[in-house]
Amino acid sequence: MTAQVSAPAPAQTKGSALKAFFFHRPERKYINAYLGGALLGLVLFTSFFLTGNGLGASGGLNRIIVYFQDMVAPEHVDRVAYLLKLAGGEKNALDDWIVPMIFGTLIGGFVAGWWFGRLKVVTNKGPQISVRTRWALAFVGGGIMGYGARMARGCTSGQALSGGAVLSVGSWAFMFAVFAGAYALAYFVRKLWN
Amino acid sequence: MPFPLPLEALVGKPLMYLIFGLIGFGFGFVLEISGFGNSKKLAAQFYFKDMTVLKVMFTAIIVAMVLIFTMVGLGVLDFNQVWVNPTYLWPGIVGGLIMGVGFVIGGFCPGTSLVAASTFKVDGVFFVLGGLFGIFLFGETEQYFDTWWNSSYYGRLTIMDWLGLSTGVVVVAVVLMALFMFWAGEKLEHRFGGVDQKRAPKWRYAGAGVLLAAAVGVLLIGQPTTESKWQRVATVKDAALVNREVQIHPGELLASLGDDALRVVVLDVRPESEYNLFHIQGAQNAPLDQLPSFIPELHAKQAANTVFVTVGNDEEAATNAWKLLTAESVPNVYILEGGINNWLATFEAEGSEIQATPTPMPGNDTLKYVFASALGDRYAAAAPSPHEWELEYTPKIKLQIQRDKSGGGCG
């Protein structure tokens, strides 16, 4: 991943000016967690109030994957019931509200990171592991997370936040399971983060 | 009850998707400014050093919950049209445990990894790639445990339904629980992370007070009853009843049952004993007094082409059932014209086993036929052949566009 940016650039496009525009803003601190939570609650409420749907992320990633699978091997998609539901026959896997939502999430994160000076090519890791180890573990952790999220029919956003706010029993059970799983393993992998 | 808005019908698909994009923008923006693009900050949660994850998540949940149920209580938001993640208990729990493992190893969850990647955190990019691979793997392996993945299904089950408590009580309890967790979380942060809570802003106490007060407000205003929901729509819907726009001819029901483009659910609202004597093939017995308990299921997981038809002996009970379902915003509900009595008359069911009763009970909505035995749907008249009957009727079923209702994760 290089630091190239494909966002609309200002007119005088000297490489360094562009770089300064995106990467040299003064870095600000993160906001208070309760304030962040309250703002997130407002976004979540707005979503439910206007559309009847909550927030989501893993569902959108799922549709992007299935879209490419449908491009490469449409017969395969039509033969697997789970994939068929998303992209069978004439269906376009990307034709769903969750897809624009995750692109919005990407842009929203980017704009906030840029505005508050946190747009940095950096690897966050614990002090005891190498950058490469961190990358490998991020990939492995992501894989486990992605698998679990589909099994649970939603991730932290689609199940825990959204289902939690509308008091779904399954979502609350799920939420406690996530924390239980993480805390159960945390001690054994403490070298990764501390 | 105007909210949630029928966005697709109102503004069209491109604009609807733009709105979802804007909501996503807000989501990503808030995640980033809360520090969720940083895996170290997220992982610190699991060593009690920085409880940001807990604080942000539960604040968001209780703020949204209090606002949602206030709006529902005021009659502005229709809870039946709000997506409630259906409960598949064990797949949810096992998936959650697996996700917890992935969280502490990888340092993100899917939403936060998007924000990390979009702010050029390299570990975030690797996590997203890994996540995509895991999702791909699930799609390819789901077929091997499909039965289990669809098991322990409880449908649209809320904590209120589960515990039999009123919404207000649950809302207050959840707020109290969250406040307790914040208190404990701050203690742990102090103990393990050396965080000086004296420097934390004092307004958080005021915020806690406001939330608790609002939760008590939800308890006090209560939630709308079916009766009050009906009153809000009565003028429009009564007209539909009087103009007989929703009473469908037996011939239309028969044709619809054989129509592959429709999914017809026949709700037989008569008592079980009468249902056992005779019912239309495929009909589900949902006695009028038990009908309210069927409503969550009717809302959960119904395809957009689903049509519900209420069936009584005549029309009285079926009309009451129609009112109940309509008030609870179940879409595409119709009434079988003349009920079972008319059905039997139309399809000339009379014979040796089914006879018009010589002494019809007085009053409406009684069964006008006697049956040799309780054969249910094994009488020929329970499933007339659509090819044998050329019936004339005015078609009335018009599918309403259903809102795009699906869960974030369920996609």
CA distance B209 to chain A (A): 13
Residues of B in contact with A192 (CB under 8 A): 43, 105
How many Cβ contacts (< 8 angstroms) between chains A and B?
Answer: 609
Three-state DSSP class for B264? strand
Q: Which residues contact B186 (CB under 8 A, 6 or more apart)?
A: B51, B195, B197, B200
Q: What are residue B370's DSSP bridge partners?
A: B355
Fold of B227-388: Oxidized Rhodanese; domain 1 (3.40.250)
- Output the pLDDT for position B299: 80
Provide the token pair at B132: 């995509």
pLDDT tens sequence for chain B (411 residues): 578 988 888 898 999 999 999 999 999 999 999 999 999 999 999 999 999 999 999 999 999 999 999 999 998 999 988 999 999 999 999 999 999 999 999 999 999 999 999 999 999 999 999 999 999 999 999 999 999 999 999 988 999 999 999 999 999 999 999 999 999 999 999 999 988 888 899 999 999 999 999 999 999 999 888 888 898 888 889 999 999 999 999 999 999 998 888 889 999 999 999 999 999 999 999 999 999 888 888 887 567 788 999 999 999 999 999 999 999 888 889 999 999 999 998 888 777 788 888 776 666 788 888 888 888 888 888 888 888 888 888 888 887 755 545 544 443
Residues of A in contact with B127 (CB under 8 A): 138-139, 141-142, 145
Provide the token pair at B299: 């809302």
CA distance A12 to chain B (A): 23
Supply the mean pLDDT for chain A. Answer: 89
CA distance B13 to chain A (A): 9
Spell out the domain ranges in chain A.
31-120, 123-194
Q: Distance between CA B42 and CA B56 in Å, rounded?
A: 11
- Output the pLDDT for position B402: 55
Of B104, B133, B159, the CB nearest to A167: B159
Q: Do A165 and B65 touch (CB under 8 A)?
A: yes
* B4 in A contact zone (CB under 8 Å): yes
Q: Do A108 and B32 touch (CB under 8 A)?
A: yes
pTM: predicted TM-score of the whole model, two decimal places: 0.87
What does the pLDDT look like over B15-57, one tens digit per residue?
999 999 999 999 999 999 999 999 999 999 999 999 999 999 9
Residues of B in contact with A78 (CB under 8 A): none
Of B82, B146, B154, the CB nearest to A169: B154
Residues of B in contact with A134 (CB under 8 A): 123
Distances (CA, A) of B280 to B124, B339, B358, B383: 57, 11, 23, 6
Contact B59/A34 with Cβ under 8 angstroms?
A: yes
For B215-227, the DSSP string reads: HHHHHHH----HH
Q: What are residue A122's DSSP bridge partners?
A: B121
CA distance B228 to chain A (A): 20
Q: Do A47 and B23 touch (CB under 8 A)?
A: yes
Exposed / middle / buried, residue B43 (Cβ in 10 Å: 0-12, 13-18, 19+): buried
Of A81, A105, A149, the CB nearest to B409: A149
Of B103, B134, B170, the CB nearest to A182: B103
Residues of B in contact with A146 (CB under 8 A): 102, 110, 130-138
* B361 in A contact zone (CB under 8 Å): no
Residues of A in contact with B81 (CB under 8 A): 52
- Output the pLDDT for position B301: 57
Residue A1 has pLDDT above 70, yes or no: no
Contact B61/B140 with Cβ under 8 angstroms?
A: no
Q: Which of residues 160-219 of B touch A (CB under 8 A)?
A: 160-162, 167, 170-171, 174, 182, 200-201, 204, 207
Contact B35/A30 with Cβ under 8 angstroms?
A: yes
Three-state DSSP class for B266? strand
Residues of B in contact with A38 (CB under 8 A): 59-60, 63, 207
Contact A56/A162 with Cβ under 8 angstroms?
A: yes
- Output the pLDDT for position B226: 87
Q: Do A140 and B85 touch (CB under 8 A)?
A: no
Of B61, B136, B405, the CB nearest to A161: B61
Q: What are residue A168's DSSP bridge partners?
A: B158
Q: Report which of residues B404 and A182 the model is more confident about.
A: A182
Of B47, B91, B131, the CB nearest to A151: B91
Spell out the domain ranges in chain B.
7-224, 227-388
